[in-house]
């Protein structure tokens, strides 16, 4: 990711039980966009346009999330939560033995907020109790995920565990997600002081973003990492 853009597949290949049936183009779009020439020409215009639109939507959503916590509209924005953005474009080819693996394993997104667009093939599921519920494709609709950095809300918002089953259809599945993260890598994050009181003590410790990401990548993609940060 040195140039801000990379093709990848299975970052946890040597830790996981089966390879996920997926390839990914990922691009860091904020705080600084990658060098124009490094973005594949075939989708350059589209990726930059999508980032701009998702950024605008992210700002609206972040304002609503702040207000939902009883905070000023710009509280999360001022913490730089819109600034570090990663866009992924996933390609899930037809899998001839879909019962043997998945497209993407169970996880919750590591950031504050995710704006996701899936195509008509389907396969995205979210965990509700012990059950997996289909997130049925709906033309023109976006899926908005709360990420693990909801820890700053002191559990007022909860990240959602999700996965994508292996694609059993004869045509590829495509999705794209923009993850919003804070950009201040040296700052401490944890439950916001306004959300901590004697009645509601901090559920999580303070941590820096590198500490959080180290934990996220320390194991195979499977379930949530936030328990590690519990007080
Ligand atoms: O492809 C999808 O619908 C979901 C992708 C996803 O969960 C992710 O990139 O974190
Ligand atoms: Fe995800």
Number of structural domains (the chain) is 1
Q: Among candidates 162, 15, 202, 20, which has minimal Cα distance to 93? A: 20
Q: Are 41 and 124 in contact (CB under 8 A)?
A: no
pLDDT band at 83 (very low <50, low <70, confident <90, very high): very high
Q: What is the mean pLDDT of residues 36-56?
A: 93
**Which pLDDT tens digit goes with each residue over 85-132?**
999 999 999 999 999 999 999 999 999 999 999 999 999 999 999 999
Q: Which residues surround ligand 2, an ion (CB under 5 A)?
A: 109
**In angstroms, what is the span from residue 51 Cα to ligand 1's centroid?**
16
- The model carries a pTM of 0.93
Task: Choose which residue among 124, 166, 176 to substitute to test ligand 1 binding: the one with the highest number of ligand atoms within 8 A of its C-beta.
Answer: 124
**In angstroms, what is the span from residue 125 Cα to ligand 1's centroid?**
10
Nearest-angstrom CA–CA distance, 130 and 176: 27
Is residue 220, in this structure, part of any structural domain at all?
no
**pLDDT > 80? residue 44:** yes
pLDDT band at 226 (very low <50, low <70, confident <90, very high): confident
Nearest-angstrom CA–CA distance, 2 and 205: 30
| Structure confidence at residue 218 (pLDDT) | 77
Q: Is 68 helix (H, G, I), strand (E, B) or coil?
A: helix
At 59, which helix (H) or strand (E)?
A: helix 44-68
**pLDDT > 70? residue 179:** yes
Ligand 1 environment, Cβ below 6 A: 88, 90, 104, 109, 116, 118, 124, 162, 164, 175, 177
Is residue 29, in this structure, part of any structural domain at all?
yes
Is residue 201, in this structure, part of any structural domain at all?
no
37 CB-contact burial (10 Å; exposed 0-12 / middle 13-18 / buried 19+)? exposed
**pLDDT > 90? residue 72:** yes
| Structure confidence at residue 1 (pLDDT) | 59
pLDDT band at 220 (very low <50, low <70, confident <90, very high): low
pLDDT band at 35 (very low <50, low <70, confident <90, very high): confident
| Structure confidence at residue 223 (pLDDT) | 64
Is residue 203, in this structure, part of any structural domain at all?
no
**pLDDT > 80? residue 222:** no
Q: What is the CATH number of the domain that holds 159?
A: 2.60.120.330
| Structure confidence at residue 13 (pLDDT) | 74
Q: What is the mean pLDDT of residues 203-220?
A: 87
Share of the chain above pLDDT 90, in %: 80
Protein residue whose Cα sits closest to atom 1 of ligand 1? 175
Q: What is the ipTM of this complex?
A: 0.99
Tokens of 130: 């012990």
Is residue 191, in this structure, part of any structural domain at all?
no
Q: What is the mean pLDDT of residues 141-170?
A: 96
- Judged by average pLDDT, the poorest of 13-17, 163-167, 218-222 is 218-222
Domain that holds residue 110: 5-185
Is residue 204, in this structure, part of any structural domain at all?
no
Is residue 193, in this structure, part of any structural domain at all?
no
Is residue 223, in this structure, part of any structural domain at all?
no
**In angstroms, what is the span from residue 75 Cα to ligand 2's centroid?**
25
């Amino acid at each position: 990711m040195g140039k801000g853009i990379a093709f990848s597949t299975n970052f946890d290949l040597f830790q996981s039980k089966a390879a996920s049936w997926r390839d990914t183009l990922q691009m860091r779009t904020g705080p600084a966009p990658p060098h124009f020439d490094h973005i594949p020409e075939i989708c350059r215009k589209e990726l930059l346009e999508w980032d701009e639109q998702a950024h605008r939507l992210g700002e609206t959503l972040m304002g609503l999330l702040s207000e939902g916590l009883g905070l000023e509209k710009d509280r999360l924005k001022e913490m730089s939560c819109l600034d570090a953005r990663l866009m992924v474009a996933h390609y899930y080819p037809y899998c001839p033995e879909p019962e043997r693996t998945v497209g993407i394993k169970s996880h919750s997104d590591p950031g504050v907020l995710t704006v996701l667009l899936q195509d008509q093939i389907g396969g995205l599921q979210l965990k509700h109790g012990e059950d997996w519920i289909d997130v049925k494709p709906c033309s023109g609709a976006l899926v908005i995920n709360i990420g693990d950095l909801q820890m700053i809300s002191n559990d007022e918002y909860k990240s959602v565990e999700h996965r994508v089953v292996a694609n059993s259809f004869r045509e590829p599945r495509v999705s794209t997600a923009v993850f919003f993260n804070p950009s201040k890598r040296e700052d401490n994050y944890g439950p916001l002081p306004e959300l901590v009181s004697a009645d509601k003590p901090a559920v999580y410790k303070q941590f820096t973003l590198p500490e959080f990401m180290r934990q996220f990548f320390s194991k195979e993609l499977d379930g949530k990492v936030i328990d590690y940060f519990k007080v």
